[in-house]
Structure 1
Amino acid sequence: MSYDNHIIVGKILTTHGIKGWFTIGSYTSNPSDIFKYNLKILINNNLKELLVTDHNLMPKKIIMKVDGVDTIESCEEYVSLDLYVARDDLPEVQTDEYYWDDLIGRSVFNDDNLLLGAVDSLFTSGDNDILVIKNNNKRREILIPFLKTNIITIEDNKIIVRWNDEI
């Protein structure tokens, strides 16, 4: 999901401790790369820059401290907010690489030209990214590994996959 030429690169998940630290989720391929960028949050339809003063990569989570947020109470106001960066600050992708944000919303068809749905989100499972396809007609999700063996082509606003809907 993008906003004003910014894309989502993470999410504030919960508070950490009582001194204004957050636990965050990073959508960057290397989780620590999220701190290479000027992070912003969306409040009342306005992007507000966060000044990250400290962060720590722990074995099972990432925590960060933001200037001006010093208590658990002030921290709670930020929980569940997405973290944005300006698209222009991100590196160009290589051929056959995509930012997740560029795939979300695209229609997905199988090689028989059957509409499977639209990309609702993605997540990482082991070494692979997984497309989450929402199919409104069947009110269910289809999970398709984002692998060259499954992806035939990505063009305009659609993705064509080698996928049997009965799988």
Structure 2
Amino acid sequence: MSEKVCVGAIAGAFGVRGEVRLKSFTAVPEDIANYAPLETEDGARSFTVKITRQIKNGLAARLSGIATKEDADALRGTQLFVPRDRLPSLPDDEFYHADLIGLTVTDTGGAPLGKVLAVHNNGADDLLELSAPGQKQTVLLPFTKAIVPTVDLAQGRIVADPPEGLFS
């Protein structure tokens, strides 16, 4: 498990007074401010966050040390991280996406299906993007209790019962 978890990203400037467009990856988008200070992946910069309003596809926010549109634009694409210990504990059947990436996926008989490359949310359910052995394209596996009955973070593995034909 990673020591830092990505909780958001800066999508660019919002307006001309140094506000940023902020994409939040937290369950309740506004909660991203509660985890501040947020830092860049390398830890070189750290920001306090003040959410100013909701906007289309995200939030408008003020970050400490960002005073101009040019400062905000320079941060476009910057991912924001927090140390894992600042995040709340999750119930047994919930997982941080960062913890699932890299896990080995097998079927219920133990045959390898691939490794988790990413976790996508399509609005209804999450999808695990897998790199499957012998396949050129990735496979999207629905991340539901019926299809993924076992996630064992300690062993670094997921057991799945994929729908018929998904891996052919």
For structure 2, list consecutive stretches of 5 or more residues without a partner in the other structure: none
Runs of 4+ in 1 over 6 A off after TM superposition: none
Aligned positions, number: 164
Q: Deviations over 1:77-119 (max 9, x none)?
A: 2111111112111111111111111111101122243322211
SS across alignment from 1:46: coil
With the length of structure 2 as denominator, give the TM-score of the two structures: 0.85
Q: 2: distance between equivalents of 1:17 and 1:93?
A: 36
Q: Would you say the 8 A contact 1:39–1:83 is kept in 2?
A: no
Q: Where do residues 8-157 of structure 1 align in structure 2 (5 Å cutoff)?
A: 8-42=6-40, 45-135=42-132, 137-155=134-152, 156-157=155-156
User: 1:39-94: per-residue Cα shift (whole Å, max 9, x none)?
Assistant: 42326x33432022443222532121112212222112211111111211111111
Answer with 60-69 or 47-56: which moved more. Answer: 47-56
Q: Normalising by structure 1, what TM-score? A: 0.85
d(CA) in 2 for partners of 1:76, 1:58: 17
Give me the whole-angstrom Cα distance separating, in 1, the residues matched to 2:98 and 2:58: 23
Question: Separation in 1 of the partners of 2:136 and 2:8?
Answer: 27
Identity %: 26
C-alpha separation between the residues in 2 aligned to 1:124 and 1:166?
22
Task: State the Cα RMSD in Å.
Answer: 2.1
Structure 2 partner of 1:6? 4
Structure 2 counterpart of 1:23, one-letter code:
R
Q: Which amino acid aligns with 2:49?
A: V
Determine which structure has the larger strand proportion and give its number: 1
Distance 1:138 1:36, change over 3 A: same
Partners of 2:69 and 2:113 lie apart in 1 by: 44
1:35/1:165 CA distance change after superposition, 3 Å: farther
Q: Which amino acid aligns with 2:160?
A: V
The 8 Å contact of residues 28 and 34 in structure 1, kept in 2 or not, is answered as: yes
